[in-house]
């Protein structure tokens, strides 16, 4: 989903995707969210870059549209192809390659939280350093208040899902 997010932003801003640093956090699905506070284009925060971009009149509504497109993209892929297995496979190849090569890469991956972001005992997709040891550390990037609330909401939804299975 982070790759889809970067792709949509690069298309919107008409800039090479390699210049876009953007991440989707939380749980995969309807409760994932874009970490706009961590979104940069060419090293410039997206909100500061927007005046240079000049691609839209109303950046707030455009942001919502882009985030919804990322969320809906999996449903569109499923309606056309029946699943998102290929995208999941590509993500696994990238993550596994990072581990095997010991690349020490900054990625958003689902990992068990132990107090990070004020959340414990649940796995969420958060900024992490991935090395030859797997997730070597979780990067507690500063998030906006609404993003912290969204992350806590994702944790609550996953806990409820686990509780419904385990009783």
How would you classify the pairing of strands 120-131 and 134-138? antiparallel
Q: 7, 28, 40, 76: which is the annotated catalytic residue?
A: 28
CA distance 75 to 72: 5
Structure tokens at 30: 């309807």
CA distance 154 to 141: 17
Give the helix, strand, coil percentages of the chain, each rounded to 5: 55, 25, 25
Is 28 one of the catalytic residues?
yes
Task: Name which of 74, 60, 61 is nearest 31 in CA terms.
Answer: 74
Give the E-state strand segments of the chain in sequence order.
20-21, 24-25, 33-34, 40-41, 44-45, 105-114, 120-131, 134-138
CA atoms within 13 A on the CB side of 12: 25
Active site residues: 28
């Amino acid at each position: 989903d982070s790759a889809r997010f970067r792709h949509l932003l690069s298309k919107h801003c008409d800039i090479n995707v390699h210049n876009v640093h953007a991440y989707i956090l939380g749980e995969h699905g309807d409760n994932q969210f874009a970490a706009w506070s961590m979104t940069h284009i060419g090293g410039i925060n997206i909100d500061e870059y927007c005046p240079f971009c000049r691609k839209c009149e109303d950046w707030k509504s455009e942001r919502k549209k882009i985030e919804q497109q990322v969320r809906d993209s999996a449903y569109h892929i499923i309606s056309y192809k029946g699943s998102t297995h290929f995208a999941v496979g590509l993500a696994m190849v990238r993550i596994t390659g990072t581990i095997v090569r010991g690349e020490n890469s900054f990625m958003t991956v689902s990992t068990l939280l132990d107090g990070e972001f004020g959340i414990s005992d649940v796995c969420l997709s958060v900024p992490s350093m991935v090395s030859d040891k797997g997730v070597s550390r979780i990067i507690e990037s500063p998030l906006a208040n609404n993003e912290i609330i969204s992350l806590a909401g994702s944790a609550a939804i996953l806990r409820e899902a686990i509780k419904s299975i385990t009783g």
